[in-house]
Structure 1
Amino acid sequence: MQKILIVRRDNIGDLVCTTPLIRALRQRYPDARIDALVTSYNRGVLSDLPELSHVYAYTKGKHREPGQSLVRLHYQKLVTLWTLRRVHYDVAIAAQGTVSRRALALARNVGANRLISLVDGTTRMTGVTDPVTARQTGHEVERVFALGQPLGIQGPPGACRVVADEARREILQRRLDAVLPDGPRFGIQLSARKPSQRWPVLHYAHLIEQMQRHWPNARFLVFWAPGAENDPRHPGDDRKAAELMQHLARQRVLPIATSCLEDLIAGIDLCDAFLTPDGGAMHLAAGLGKPVLALFGDSDPEQWQPWGVPRQVLQPPSRQVADLQPGEVMAAWCRLLDPLPQ
């Protein structure tokens, strides 16, 4: 087994949940060429991962920048697939936690000698040489990790792994130390892609005030995706962040608008613990080894909760994060972190 390609075409958190499989493949085949084919949207997850030899990416139509031609993006995708066909991979893995014909088609176009994919017995999966029966329960990490079975990978999955860029981390470290020189560092993520995962600004403000009373010298790093709420490609939270900062004028807060995925990873790496709605930032924090308090709306914690780190998970009966009250979130935060230096 000399050349292995992992294909993962969906969101940030999904790709983070694939890193235990990538690490296991590297341990099993230390001298192999192990590459990944991902999207430009999630590529930053793997930018500094040492287990990979190469990372290839293409841009989905829905992620194209203003002025980018859809025809041009399709052409660039075909060029990428042609480049990968010339590598002559021994095996390609359609690394999805559920059966996906789109992921399989992408992996099949690479022309590897073997093709590993989940199957469910009902969906036609042409070209699969090594089928793995899809699991109906369990965490996304476990579902994806099962795809390593045809290559001799057994046992429970390890932790997720994400690596921060040192230069970006150092820049944010200097910003933090310039305004907030000491104390535990608490990260708080404002942005959430799904409406059911969004928490009101006043709830964040009240929670941070409670945290500040409990940990008087705590430093708060507040993250959000920049831009306008009505951006069809990447809805942003500039308005929400500005409103929060008005409420927290006297608190020890460093606002960080993360314009790229690598900056978000570097910022989370500075934190001692992380509070976030379910989403990509939650999985990045787990991949960086941070204790996580996750707020779940209309998604399944069994499949998507933070993997391999200390965690607290809150999900109201309504499956709407907005129905969680600051007091119960504060109680979960204390369960996660106490005792920390006061």
Structure 2
Amino acid sequence: MKILVIRRDNIGDLVLTTPLFRALRQRFPEARIDAFVNSYNAPVLAGHPDVDQVHEYTKGKHRKGFSPGWLERLGQMWRLRKEHYDHVVIATPGVHPRQIRFARFLNPAHITAFVPPGWKMFGVDQPVEYLGKDRHHLLMTYRILLPFGIEGDPPAPRIAFTPPAHSPGEAPVIAIHVSARKPSSRWPEERYAELMRALHERHGARFRLFWAPGAENDARHPGDDGRAARILASAAGLPVEAVATNELEGLIAGIAACDAIVCSDGGAMHLAAAMGKPVVCFFGESEAHLWHPWDVPHRLLQPESHDVADVTVDEALAAFDALRQEANAA
């Protein structure tokens, strides 16, 4: 049996799809299980024990130079068609006619996809009713496996990584990720240095600083190079290592070397959770019931205003202290 799972969106979405690969492998241990993802999030599946091959494509906004992307894409589609997959699984929650058309072109024996309740969609012979945003995104995604007879509690998200090597009693290394796509989830930059100073005084903590790379005025790919530089300047005298991560592989390796993370809602949060790192996270105008860290100790800070500027340093410090006590008691 040959199965292709399609998941072409963001980092966190793909992390929360990894339980599908584990469940499929447990159900069909001899199957070939492949993934079709974009080049930006593909490193999430690097070395994944339940995925045989990762096929990736480059979105237009991530394409470099003047290469004819449509020609490359067409060639890739024909190569995938020649794989003669038995099953193509469109794992993205919601109704996605364009992805269904893509799956039909691949000409598999079966297509599994979400459809509106009561609907039939051409080519989808294994439909799963899309019930809306009624549960965590991981659980919404996991329902796509119902036609395979797979249900119940999902496995935890899983990515391949190398855990940190620490001596007993050594001070913790805390990842501090300071970027967020939504303005309401961007904690004021001056508070990061205050928090790090308090954590260092209280726990002897050391820090690794992460951010979205790029200039703040880059119209296509705005980053937080300036923000990170200002935070580093404010944290002078503290044991802070700046970790520039121009590729996702670097972010994964960088977080893997830490013991916990303080961050906003986003891909870095889900990566850390999939590695079992305790998480303190800031949520602004995000739906916490859909996107909270899954199956890992965490403290989620979301004020009534849904603007993380209203979260104080003392609240963040108290959240980390509570999380540390929980981890020590486990």
The Cα shift of 1:192 comes to 1.3
Is the Cα–Cα contact under 8 Å of residues 63 and 233 in structure 1 kept in the other structure? Answer: no
One-letter amino acid of the structure 2 residue matched with residue 52 of structure 1: V
Gaps in structure 2 of 5+ consecutive residues: none
Is the Cα–Cα contact under 8 Å of residues 17 and 140 in structure 1 kept in the other structure? Answer: yes
Counterpart residue number, 1:37: 36
What is the alpha-carbon distance in structure 1 between the residues aligned to residue 212 and residue 159 of structure 2? 19
Counterpart residue number, 1:245: 232
Which of the residues 279, 285, 291 maps onto 2:278?
291
Counterpart residue number, 1:96: 92
Counterpart residue number, 1:261: 248
Is the Cα–Cα contact under 8 Å of residues 98 and 143 in structure 1 kept in the other structure? Answer: no
One-letter amino acid of the structure 2 residue matched with residue 117 of structure 1: A
Q: Does 1:330 align with 2:322?
A: no
What is the alpha-carbon distance in structure 2 between the residues aligned to residue 88 and residue 160 of structure 1? 28
What is the alpha-carbon distance in structure 1 between the residues aligned to residue 69 and residue 272 of structure 2? 31
Change (3 A) 1:208 1:43: same
The Cα shift of 1:322 comes to 2.2
SS of residue paired to 1:148:
helix
The Cα shift of 1:333 comes to 1.2
Counterpart residue number, 1:59: 58
Cα deviation per residue 1:263-288 (whole Å; 9 max; x = unaligned)?
A: 10111111111111000001101111
The Cα shift of 1:35 comes to 0.2
SS of residue paired to 1:117:
strand
Counterpart residue number, 2:143: 146
Cα deviation per residue 1:230-268 (whole Å; 9 max; x = unaligned)?
A: 223332111011101111111111110111101101111
One-letter amino acid of the structure 2 residue matched with residue 325 of structure 1: T
What is the alpha-carbon distance in structure 2 between the residues aligned to residue 337 and residue 109 of structure 1? 51
What is the alpha-carbon distance in structure 1 between the residues aligned to residue 119 and residue 38 of structure 2? 24
Which of the residues 181, 190, 205 maps onto 1:202?
190
SS of residue paired to 2:106:
coil
SS of residue paired to 2:228:
helix
Is the Cα–Cα contact under 8 Å of residues 187 and 272 in structure 1 kept in the other structure? Answer: yes
What is the alpha-carbon distance in structure 2 between the residues aligned to residue 135 and residue 122 of structure 1? 11
Q: Which region of structure 1 is more displaced relative to structure 2, 317-326 or 97-106?
A: 97-106
What is the alpha-carbon distance in structure 2 between the residues aligned to residue 286 and residue 151 of structure 1? 27
RMSD, aligned CA? 2.1
What is the alpha-carbon distance in structure 2 between the residues aligned to residue 100 and residue 294 of structure 1? 30
Change (3 A) 1:34 1:316: same
One-letter amino acid of the structure 1 residue matched with residue 198 of structure 2: Q
Is the Cα–Cα contact under 8 Å of residues 117 and 131 in structure 2 kept in the other structure? Answer: no
Which of the residues 155, 160, 163 maps onto 1:158?
155
Which of the residues 119, 124, 127 maps onto 2:123?
127
Change (3 A) 1:207 1:62: same
SS of residue paired to 1:241:
helix
The Cα shift of 1:102 comes to 3.1
Gaps in structure 1 of 5+ consecutive residues: none
Stretches of 4+ aligned residues off by more than 3 angstroms: 121-125
Is the Cα–Cα contact under 8 Å of residues 6 and 89 in structure 2 kept in the other structure? Answer: yes
What is the alpha-carbon distance in structure 1 between the residues aligned to residue 135 and residue 218 of structure 2? 34
Q: Does 1:227 align with 2:214?
A: yes
The Cα shift of 1:182 comes to 4.6
Identity of aligned residues (%): 46
SS of residue paired to 2:36:
strand
Change (3 A) 1:298 1:124: farther
One-letter amino acid of the structure 2 residue matched with residue 330 of structure 1: L
What is the alpha-carbon distance in structure 2 between the residues aligned to residue 108 and residue 45 of structure 1? 26
Cα deviation per residue 1:279-331 (whole Å; 9 max; x = unaligned)?
A: 00011011111111111111111111111111111112222222221111111
What is the alpha-carbon distance in structure 2 between the residues aligned to residue 23 and residue 221 of structure 1? 31
